[in-house]
């Protein structure tokens, strides 16, 4: 019987490595959002399951005995659906959710509930750095009269969805010094990010703090009622206890 690891975060990579080291049969699932994902240390499948029914079929056909959901904190559809289905069919489910970032002295953050709220706070003529990914880009179309720069890993396959926008291609890691250089060279006035948490992508917040750039922080979505840990070590302890 196999553990299904819903991947798509740094934690998922660590959990995959740990599951392999523990010799626990497991398969990692990626949505297919990144064009050339790195091979994890366990078997992988790539692409959606085909909705809730497809997911139920997959669980049965693949002999899944438990699910570790280590998707991104803002991947709400997959998390809510998986928690619900696992509860319905009595399949052990663990949500791995890293702690959100919190402000430090020198930060200038404003929390917003939705991407669309950015337009009311960012003045016309600003240069805006979006660290929010391309999937939600059209929600920023109210930023009229701004230069909007969206960083993404893969080269774009479609034009920017609104006027004044441009893509910046970059693959992490982004050390603080590099972030500061990029923000200074681009003349960034505002940064918009999701409260993803974790160390790897906190560098842009450190850079913002050190450069005195204000940040709009999109609030964390609500999480389902479920068994939850905030780190890979605890997730592996849970997997061993099954």
Ligand X SMILES: NC(=O)c1ccc[n+]([C@@H]2O[C@H](COP(=O)([O-])OP(=O)(O)OC[C@H]3O[C@@H](n4cnc5c(N)ncnc54)[C@H](OP(=O)(O)O)[C@@H]3O)[C@@H](O)[C@H]2O)c1
Binding site for ligand X (CB under 6 A): 6-9, 29-31, 33, 48-51, 54-55, 71-72, 74-78, 133, 135, 194
CA distances from 26 to 34, 86, 123, 179, 219 (A): 21, 17, 49, 36, 32
CB of 152: closest distance to ligand X in angstroms? 10
Nearest residue to 26 (alpha-carbon basis) of 52, 9, 49, 7: 7
Cβ-based nearer residue to ligand X, 2 or 210: 2
Cβ-based nearer residue to ligand X, 38 or 124: 38
Cβ-based nearer residue to ligand X, 210 or 224: 224
Cβ-based nearer residue to ligand X, 128 or 201: 201
Cβ-based nearer residue to ligand X, 6 or 128: 6
CB of 124: closest distance to ligand X in angstroms? 27
Half-sphere exposure of 142 (CA within 13 A, CB side): 12
CB of 8: closest distance to ligand X in angstroms? 2
Cβ-based nearer residue to ligand X, 134 or 180: 134
CA distance 208 to 184: 10
CA distance 213 to 180: 10
CB of 34: closest distance to ligand X in angstroms? 8
CA distance 182 to 179: 5
Cβ-based nearer residue to ligand X, 210 or 231: 231
């Amino acid at each position: 019987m196999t553990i299904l690891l819903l991947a798509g975060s740094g934690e998922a990579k660590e959990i995959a490595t740990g599951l392999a080291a523990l010799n626990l049969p497991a398969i990692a699932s990626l949505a297919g959002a990144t064009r050339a994902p790195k091979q994890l240390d366990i078997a992988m499948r790539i692409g959606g399951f085909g909705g809730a029914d497809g997911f139920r079929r997959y669980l049965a056909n693949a002999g899944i005995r438990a699910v570790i959901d280590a998707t991104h904190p803002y991947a709400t559809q997959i998390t809510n659906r998986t928690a619900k289905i696992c509860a319905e069919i009595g399949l052990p489910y663990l949500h791995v959710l890293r702690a959100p970032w919190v402000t430090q002295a020198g930060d200038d953050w404003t929390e917003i509930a939705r991407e669309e709220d950015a337009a009311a706070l960012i003045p016309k003529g600003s240069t805006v750095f979006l660290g929010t990914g391309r999937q939600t880009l059209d929600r920023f179309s109210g930023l009229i009269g701004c230069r909007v720069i969206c960083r993404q890993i893969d080269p774009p396959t479609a034009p920017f969805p609104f006027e004044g926008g441009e893509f910046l291609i970059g693959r992490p890691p982004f050390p603080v010094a590099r972030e500061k250089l990029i923000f200074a060279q681009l003349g960034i006035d505002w940064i918009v990010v999701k409260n993803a948490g974790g160390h790897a992508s906190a560098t842009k917040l450190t850079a913002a703090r050190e450069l005195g750039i204000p940040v709009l922080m999109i609030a964390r979505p609500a999480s389902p009622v479920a068994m939850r840990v905030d780190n890979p070590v605890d997730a592996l302890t849970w997997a061993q206890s099954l």
